[in-house]
Every structure is written in structure tokens, then in C-alpha cells.
Amino acid sequence: MNNEIKSFFEENSIEGMDMNTEIESFFEKNSIEGIVFDLDNTLIDTGTWLIFMYKRFATEIVPYINRTYNLTIETDDFAQAYHQAEVAQYYNNGSVNFITRFPSTLSWITTSLNLNIDQEDILKRFTPNIAEIYTLSPDPFDGTLELLHTLLSFTKVAICTHSGKDWTKIKTDSLKSRYRKLYKNIPDIYSYYVDINKPKNTSEWIKAANTTNSTPEKLIAVGDNFDADILPAVEAGYKYIIWLSLYDNDKEQDIKELKKQGVKIAIIKDIRELEKTLTSNQPFGDI
Ligand SMILES: [Mg+2]
């Protein structure tokens, strides 16, 4: 721990110092050189933000549909159908290509709400509205900035995200500027992005590890998506895996199987649990 941070804790929080020392000693004891986070739905609350964006699209699209096709669709119904289409078709692969899938999303909504509309017309008019997603950033989860601050005081932190170059920059800039507001300096975070048209797979998790000049065997991986984060990180050989399972855990059998194979994996429901999990007696004990 560097002196500046040490004195911050000495002046401000004895408790903080204790927790900080505990997590630092967990890293030291287990020869862990750093931690690699997924970004969306792990450090930033993309899920909640997207629901807000679907609502915004609905308020833009629905008045046009109602007027042009003489319908009486409610914006809330359209927004909900948009969300359901996204979850049903794309959540599992962790992809964020909202533009190329807009045709199939719209087709899903059209069927679900039984709309008699010209889909080509809607696509032509409203695809630029969908593209607005890539100009904005979701907010960090409560506890993210504090967690990063703790970790950055003694270890390397990297992000492995599936957002493409430009959107990744918008999101990491937003995260950094919030961090700077709170702690008066810019966090030194390694960042690795996967092109949105490519899968986020094992080799991407290895490349993300390499940005820290370390290897997966000496790092912790944290992510929310079982197929795009957890399984590839396991295969990449990360020393410890933390699954941030935001929704129902429907992977109990898979987790048991991984543990049987010797994979050290822990499940949390909230990013604020991470520090406590790592400093508990048996963070990766049997389930
Ligand atoms: Mg994610």
C-alpha cells in the first residue's frame, strides 16, 4: 500500500484500514497479482439503464406507429416487449450489437403485440434512435467506486468488456470521471475491449489478463454472464472466478460440476459483496 493511501485511511477510517488490510493479505497469501472485471452488469448497471433506454425508444416510436397505422399501442407495452425480446434472444450470449439485431427485435415485438405495421419503414426511420445507445454510459453500481479505490491501492485492476472501441471509451471515461469526483485522482485501470461483432471467448479473457502483464493463473475474474464471462474465464485458467449472479441462479448444476473439477468459484448477488466474500473464511468453499 502506498503512503498516500495509508495516511488517508489513518486519518479517515480505522475500519476501512482493517478491511483493506484483510483483502490485501488475501491477495498476498494466494499470490494474486490482480483482478479482471467484466464491465456491463458487473461494475456498471447496464440492465437498469437499458430498460430506461427501451422506454425512451418507445416514446419515440409509438406515437409514429399509432398515427401512421391507426393503432392504440401503449408506450409501456412497447417498452416491455422490447425488453422481453432482448432478454429472450440475446442475453445469454452477452452481445451488445443493438443495431444489427434491431430487425429481429422489431419482428419479435410485432408478433408479440400483434401489430400490423411496415417493419421496413420503422427500421429506416428509427435505427438512428437505437444507435444513441452507443453515445451514452450506464451509471456504476453502488459500491463500485469504493471497491475500485480499495483494490487499486494494492493491486492491478483490468476491465474485459464486450462493447467495441468507441463505446468502451465512453463508458470507461464516465467511470473514471465519477471516480475522480470522489477521490480526486484518475484510477489506473487497464482496459481491454472485444469488438461487438466478435464473441467474448476464452482468448479474449487471456488477452485481457495480458494487459496487466500477468496471466490468468495469477488473477481473479469477475463477471455476470455465465456463457460470456464465467465459462471462458474458467477455460482461460483464471485462479479464482467470481460470478455476479444478478438474477435467479439457474446454473447450480454447472457450478457443482466446475467445483468438482477443482475450479475455485464463488457466487455473489451484488458487487458490494465482493470484498467480504474474498475475506471470508472459505470464499471458495464447497456448496
Ligand atoms: Mg456483463
End of a domain among 100, 135, 170? 135
Output the 3-class SS for the chain.
CCHHHHHHHHHHCHHHHHHHHHHHHHHHHCCCCEEEECCECCCECHHHHHHHHHHHHHHHHHHHHHHHHCCCCCHHHHHHHHHHHHHHHHHHHCCCCCCCCHHHHHHHHHHHCCCCCCHHHHHHHHHHHHHHHHHCCCCECCCHHHHHHHHHCCCEEEEEECCHHHHHHHHHHHHHHHHHHHHCCCCCEEEEECCCCCCCCHHHHHHHHHCCCCCHHHEEEEECCHHHHHHHHHHHCCCEEEEECCCCCCCHHHHHHHHHCCCCEEEECCHHHHHHHHHCCCCCCCC
Residue 157 sits in the same domain as residue 66: no
Residue 26 sits in the same domain as residue 157: yes
Q: Report if residue 286 sits inside a domain.
A: no
β pairing state of 34-37 and 219-223? parallel
- Measure 140 CA to ligand 1 centroid, in angstroms: 12
Task: Give me the residues near ligand 1 (ion), CB cutoff below 5 Å.
Answer: 38, 40-41, 224-225
Domains in the chain: how many in total?
Answer: 2
pLDDT of residue 14: 45
Which pLDDT tens digit goes with each residue over 28-82?
999 999 999 999 999 999 999 999 999 999 999 999 999 999 999 999 999 999 9
Domain span at residue 103 reads 47-135
pTM higher than the cut 0.85? yes
- Measure 43 CA to ligand 1 centroid, in angstroms: 8
Residue 57 sits in the same domain as residue 195: no
- Measure 4 CA to ligand 1 centroid, in angstroms: 33
Q: How far apart are CA 208 and CA 194, in angstroms?
A: 9
Residue 156 sits in the same domain as residue 202: yes
- Measure 161 CA to ligand 1 centroid, in angstroms: 8
Q: Report if residue 64 sits inside a domain.
A: yes
Q: How far apart are CA 34 and CA 198, in angstroms?
A: 26
Q: Report if residue 287 sits inside a domain.
A: no
pLDDT of residue 88: 85
Q: Report if residue 129 sits inside a domain.
A: yes
- Measure 110 CA to ligand 1 centroid, in angstroms: 28
Residue 75 sits in the same domain as residue 164: no
Can you give the CATH number for the domain in which 198 is found?
Answer: 3.40.50.1000
Residue 128 sits in the same domain as residue 228: no
Which pLDDT tens digit goes with each residue over 182-238?
999 999 999 999 998 888 999 999 999 999 999 999 999 999 999 999 999 999 999
- Measure 11 CA to ligand 1 centroid, in angstroms: 36
Which pLDDT tens digit goes with each residue over 137-188?
999 999 999 999 999 999 999 999 999 999 999 999 999 999 999 999 999 9
